[in-house]
Structure 1
Amino acid sequence: MDIRSPNDSDLPALLALEEASFRSDRISRRSFRRWLRHRDCVFRIAVDDTKDSTLLGYALVTLRRGTRLARLYSLAVDSAARGRGIAQALLQSVEQAAREAGAIYMRLEVAENNLGAISLYEKLGYSQFGLYEDYYEDHASALRMEKRIRPYQPSGDNRQLPWLPQTTAFTCGPAALMMAMAGLPGGHYQPSPEEEIELWREATTVFMTSGHGGCHPLGLALAGQRRGFRAEVWVNIEGPLFLDGVRDENKKRVMRIAHDSFVRQCGAAGIEVNYSDIDQDELTRRFSAGANILILISTYRMDSMKAPHWVTLSGFDDTCLYVHDPDMGDTSPRALREAPRNPLDCQHLPITRDSFAAMSRFGSSRLRAVVVLESLS
């Protein structure tokens, strides 16, 4: 058996193996072609080097840019070749390649009735950390399993925080705020699509460089406090925010008016605004004390777009900070066919502390903004 990267000549055999291995949720010809050229994946095949390089199996792993997370997207072994340790060899090969690409965690989903695969994953060190109901096209549920492919000594508080996707391209702030509020004690807060838009209306800066306005940290804090939570803001710039790249002077005028209004409202509401950086030690201390935290990042390391984006802190350890990202990426029909992003790809994303320090600054002004939310009970 030889394990190597596939090429275009392997496509017919890959399609035949896919057809024979899965009754639903199959990878299409177009998707296989895309994965053969995609830079953010690890793709390995096992071939029989004694039988004209007959395809025995494949493993495909996706890598989430800007994070240290890898995900086993698909694994298949020819039924005639099972029992030879091919799945284990493939999995160990892609783990090594993912590790070399910088990944710290490997995650996967497996049908809860696939006892053979579950046994293999457990043997190789994977453990269940959740259940995804009605996951497959046939409505079967999937176990969520995870393995740290780089050893560590854990520390910190990795609490259970609900994950919510943003339903528009411009409501990352409201989605992050809804996650934070729904994850605090009390259980009285109920997110909804209507609430997402209402939060955006309350917190928007009105304009951004293009498209709809994003959300101001003071606006998000005000929206959270109006809903019965204690809010606090850390921002390292005292003047109007998000003016970088806005050329229209009338847009700048309106954004300054909105900013000044948020400042006055926070003063009237008694919301503490700290005009300074908040370091990672303080972030993790506040998180451990029970607060949920919204953090503004630049998406450049994730998608090269240099857009401001709100995420919610979901945990930490000595190496990484973990975030819930509300952005499901491009959800157009074509994008979903060619490279669907799974909700699991957006939850508890591990970002190394040095990378996080760079990501949590936006624009030429190096804006840093954090909203700390606490329960009043």
Structure 2
Amino acid sequence: MKLEHRLFDADRISRRSFRRFIDMPRDWLVVALVDGALVGYCLVLMHAATRLARIYSIGVAPEARGCGVGEALVREAERVASRAGRIVMRLEVRTDNTAATALYRRLGYRLFGTYQDYYADHGDALRFERRILFYEPSRAFPPVPYYPQTTEFTCGPAALIMAMAAVDHRQSLTALEELSIWREATTIFMLAGHGGCGPHGLALAAWSRGFHCAAYVSQAGPLFTQTVRNPDKKRVLELVHQGFLNDIARTGIELHHEYLSLSQISAALKQGRIPVILISSWQLSQSRVPHWVTVCAVDDQFVYLHDPEVDSKGGESVADKQYVPVDRRIFERMKQYGRQSPLQAAVIVGPRRNH
């Protein structure tokens, strides 16, 4: 409490609150000591319903500043949070606290929003976050190379390219290949702009490149028709779907009109086959559009994804989108698109065929 009063004139944590935080089993109070004297603390809250952690408050005594205490506190906070299975660390900082903002940016934190009138003196807050839990490669699953999509409408081809390259390192990872697959697999129309790709087209693209593959689609009829209102566009979607089915009938593609379970996904990975899954991207980017990702690994807690969409304007990097850990329960909700009669779709890429 003495340190708290030295550091802050407003928004102080009370003695009662400190005791409550210390007694809360899932929260952590990290302290920094020099020769037995308290020189800093970091209070880390673990959200009960999500995999998020939050630095609620952090402070360093004036005489200890410039010695790396703040960085050490943040790093230790990240370690205890990641050991508790938290995926992302979030925090808020005053807009005029340039020193703290510089520290967080240097440590890899990304600005993702602001809070207006956040502090007691009506000051605004910047919101930062950083992914803190990363996948450790396992012999149980094959490594999956990463390829980011180069357009806003080619997540499906990018995800498929990653799956094919995991099975065969000779597979091309280029924008030309990405666009070639899109031309083959596009449904023509979608919500707006260029059409996306459906599971039938992606399966055909993998097959035409010499790979064994299976498609799991929970609906037997044309897909994504609810995303367009124009009857002429709906008719085009129906014709494209029928064309895909005619082409699949002339191949050895396994087409299943059923749900693909998480245990089936895990079993496929252990066999060296790579699933490409259609998800609702709300949990990843707060967008309700359908989105393709590549599943790389599964463990007792998480499903690990390669997400081909990198928001570089929002501060994301390629590293942020590789082996993204998603809670298994959340993944079960993600791997279906739409509210009424939700669609589940996946393409599993296997080894190259013997010709």
- Deviation string, structure 1 residues 327-353 (Cα, Å, up to 9, x no partner): 012x4xxxx2xx310111101011111
Aligned to 1:167: 150
| Rounded Cα–Cα distance in structure 2 between residues aligned with 1:97 and 1:2 | 24
- Deviation string, structure 1 residues 6-41 (Cα, Å, up to 9, x no partner): 99x9xxxxxxxxxxxxxxxxxxxxxxxxxxxxxxxx
Residue from 343, 350, 354 that aligns with 1:374: 350
Q: Sort the Cα spacing of 1:90 and 1:191 in 2 relative to 1 into closer, same or farther, 3 A.
A: closer
| Rounded Cα–Cα distance in structure 1 between residues aligned with 2:226 and 2:53 | 34
Answer yes or no: is the 8 Å Cα contact 2:78–2:132 preserved in 1.
no
Answer yes or no: is the 8 Å Cα contact 1:155–1:318 preserved in 2.
no
**How far is the alpha carbon of 1:157 from its aligned partner?**
2.8
- Deviation string, structure 1 residues 230-265 (Cα, Å, up to 9, x no partner): 111011100000112311111100000000100110
**How far is the alpha carbon of 1:82 from its aligned partner?**
5.5
Answer yes or no: is the 8 Å Cα contact 1:312–1:325 preserved in 2.
yes
Answer yes or no: is the 8 Å Cα contact 2:185–2:205 preserved in 1.
yes
Answer yes or no: is the 8 Å Cα contact 1:3–1:90 preserved in 2.
no
Q: Sort the Cα spacing of 1:71 and 1:260 in 2 relative to 1 into closer, same or farther, 3 A.
A: farther
Identity among equivalent positions (%) equals 36
**How far is the alpha carbon of 1:160 from its aligned partner?**
1.7
In the alignment, residue 228 of structure 2 is paired with which amino acid?
V
In the alignment, residue 188 of structure 1 is paired with which amino acid?
R
Aligned to 1:89: 73
**How far is the alpha carbon of 1:278 from its aligned partner?**
1.1
- Deviation string, structure 1 residues 102-130 (Cα, Å, up to 9, x no partner): 72477xxxxxxxxxxxxxx9xxxxxxxxx
| Rounded Cα–Cα distance in structure 2 between residues aligned with 1:356 and 1:307 | 16
Aligned to 2:122: none
Residue from 210, 219, 226 that aligns with 1:228: 210
Equivalent positions of 1:110-259 (< 5 A) are 157-185=140-168, 187-259=169-241
Matched, 1:294 2:276: yes
| Rounded Cα–Cα distance in structure 1 between residues aligned with 2:336 and 2:178 | 25
Q: Sort the Cα spacing of 1:68 and 1:158 in 2 relative to 1 into closer, same or farther, 3 A.
A: farther
| Rounded Cα–Cα distance in structure 1 between residues aligned with 2:4 and 2:175 | 47
In the alignment, residue 87 of structure 1 is paired with which amino acid?
E
| Rounded Cα–Cα distance in structure 1 between residues aligned with 2:225 and 2:83 | 39
Which blocks of at least 5 consecutive residues in structure 2 are unaligned?
11-30, 33-38, 90-106, 108-130
TM-score (ref. length: structure 2): 0.67
Q: Sort the Cα spacing of 1:274 and 1:79 in 2 relative to 1 into closer, same or farther, 3 A.
A: farther
Answer yes or no: is the 8 Å Cα contact 2:133–2:325 preserved in 1.
no
Aligned to 1:342: 317
Please say which structure displays the higher CA radius of gyration: 2
| Rounded Cα–Cα distance in structure 2 between residues aligned with 1:236 and 1:156 | 31
Which blocks of at least 5 consecutive residues in structure 1 are unaligned?
10-45, 48-53, 107-120, 122-144
Answer yes or no: is the 8 Å Cα contact 1:157–1:316 preserved in 2.
no
- Deviation string, structure 1 residues 252-311 (Cα, Å, up to 9, x no partner): 000000001001101111211000011111111011001011000001122222100000
**How far is the alpha carbon of 1:365 from its aligned partner?**
2.3
In the alignment, residue 161 of structure 2 is paired with which amino acid?
M
Aligned to 1:313: 295
Q: Sort the Cα spacing of 1:189 and 1:90 in 2 relative to 1 into closer, same or farther, 3 A.
A: closer
Q: Please, what is the CA RMSD of the aligned residues?
A: 4.3
Aligned to 1:327: 309
